[in-house]
């Protein structure tokens, strides 16, 4: 049982130790009782978000909304943003552990890795994580971790993503796959995409960037050598997608991204990150209010996907849009 003073200690510690990281505390309205609830009737949940990005922001918002809908004033949420710095993820999660929060939500792979390393006791839920086996270094992953970790995956079906090239770009014979070599989730997606492309007779070539500083060079090289590009769900490239856009669109090279970008990309098989975060919040409720064991909770994927298309960009590139695609809003 934890006293409300823990939340005060945690907030103070965050101000002192994490002034470099963006933060905001939130609380919401209606009750619940069970494991981890303090004598004052309040749960404390820490959110570690790896960086600021539209998709990750939406997942955090969905998670908070679910907890507020289910627990209302019975939950206090402390949000910390690592601003893309790996060391900040570690610092944030260690502070949450020191404050003895009831649950940690880790938004994106670097945050999940930091949280899982920081504690083996406090429940940890990930979201916006593509492949839990790669992220956690588990060779025998079967859907549950058997540890204090579970969560939701943002992996959209790779076969459907590859099929965009078949349906919209039937003349493309060579597709470049771009990702950051430091992200294990991206390696997993790249391998899966390569297998799908090979089955359809499409040559694929991998181009990797060690960090954001290499994205411009790597993208430029890929544009010069390929008919089209595929970028899996990759935090480094997602954060620098503006750089990619400034290279590919003047060159007339179509792009498809794993996270559903249809500004730079021509089309996507996308998920709602808000809904994914909400799913994660419902899992958190089951742990906090009903005593569910995260190690026995299967990692969940998005309930539905949508095929969207950038109609204006496709028209400018001379791409015919088949049935089954929705125009991006």
CATH topology of domain 158-270+306-327: Rossmann fold (3.40.50)
Task: Read off the pLDDT of residues 131-149 as tens digits, 9 standing for 90 and up.
Answer: 899 899 998 899 999 999 9
Q: Which two tokens stand for residue 315?
A: 């028209």
Q: Is this structure's pTM higher than 0.75? A: no
Q: 38 with 3: CB under 8 angstroms? A: yes
Task: Read off the pLDDT of residues 222-258 as tens digits, 9 standing for 90 and up.
Answer: 999 999 999 998 989 999 999 999 999 999 999 999 9
Q: 227 with 169: CB under 8 angstroms? A: yes
Give Cα separations from 153 to 10, 104, 190, 304 (angstroms). 28, 16, 16, 12
Q: Is 87 exposed, middle or buried (0-12, 13-18, 19+ CB in 10 A)?
A: exposed
Task: Read off the pLDDT of residues 62-99 as tens digits, 9 standing for 90 and up.
Answer: 999 999 999 999 999 999 999 999 999 999 999 999 99
Give Cα separations from 198 to 36, 162, 212 (angstroms). 50, 10, 29
Task: Reply yes or no on whether the pLDDT at 125 is more than 60.
Answer: yes
Q: 236 with 284: CB under 8 angstroms? A: no
Q: 101 with 46: CB under 8 angstroms? A: yes
Question: Is there a common fold for 5-153+273-298 and 158-270+306-327?
Answer: yes
The tally of CA atoms less than 13 A away on the side-chain side of residue 177 is 25
The pLDDT value recorded for residue 9 is 39
Give Cα separations from 102 to 46, 50, 68, 140, 145 (angstroms). 8, 20, 15, 28, 19
Domain 5-153+273-298, CATH 3.40.50.2000 — does that match?
no
Domain spans in the chain, listed from the N-terminal domain onward: 5-153+273-298, 158-270+306-327
- Of 238, 218, 242, 229, nearest to 164 (Cα)? 229
The pLDDT value recorded for residue 5 is 40
Whole-number CA gyration radius for the chain: 21
Question: Taking residues 249-276, what's their average pLDDT?
Answer: 94
């Amino acid at each position: 049982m934890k006293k409300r003073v823990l939340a005060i200690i945690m907030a103070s510690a965050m101000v002192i130790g994490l002034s470099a990281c963006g933060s905001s505390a939130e609380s919401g309205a209606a009750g619940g009782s069970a494991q981890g609830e303090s004598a004052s009737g309040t749960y404390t949940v820490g959110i570690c978000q790896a960086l600021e990005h539209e998709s990750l922001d939406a997942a955090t918002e969905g998670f908070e909304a679910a907890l507020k809908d289910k627990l209302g004033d019975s939950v206090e949420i402390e949000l910390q943003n690592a601003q893309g710095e790996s060391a900040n993820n570690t610092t944030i999660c260690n502070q949450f552990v020191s404050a003895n929060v009831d649950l940690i939500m880790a938004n994106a792979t670097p945050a999940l890795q930091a949280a899982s390393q920081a504690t083996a006791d406090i429940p940890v839920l990930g979201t916006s994580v593509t492949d839990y086996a790669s992220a956690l270094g588990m060779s025998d992953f079967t859907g549950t971790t058997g540890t204090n970790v579970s969560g939701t995956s943002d992996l959209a079906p790779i076969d459907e993503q590859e099929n965009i090239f078949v349906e919209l770009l039937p003349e493309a014979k060579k597709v470049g796959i771009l990702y950051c070599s430091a992200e294990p989730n991206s390696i997993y997606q790249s391998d899966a995409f390569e297998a799908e492309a090979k089955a359809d007779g499409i040559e694929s070539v991998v181009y990797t960037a060690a960090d954001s500083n290499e994205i411009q060079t790597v993208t430029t090289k890929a544009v010069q050598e390929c008919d089209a590009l595929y970028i899996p769900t990759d935090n480094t490239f997602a954060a620098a997608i503006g750089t990619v856009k400034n290279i590919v669109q003047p060159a007339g090279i179509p792009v498809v991204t794993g996270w559903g970008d249809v500004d730079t990309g021509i089309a996507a098989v996308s998920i709602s990150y808000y809904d994914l975060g909400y799913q994660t919040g419902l899992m958190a409720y089951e742990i906090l209010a009903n005593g569910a064991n995260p190690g026995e909770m299967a990692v969940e994927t998005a309930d539905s996907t949508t095929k969207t298309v950038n109609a204006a960009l496709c028209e400018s590139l001379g791409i015919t849009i088949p049935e089954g695609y929705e125009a991006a809003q």
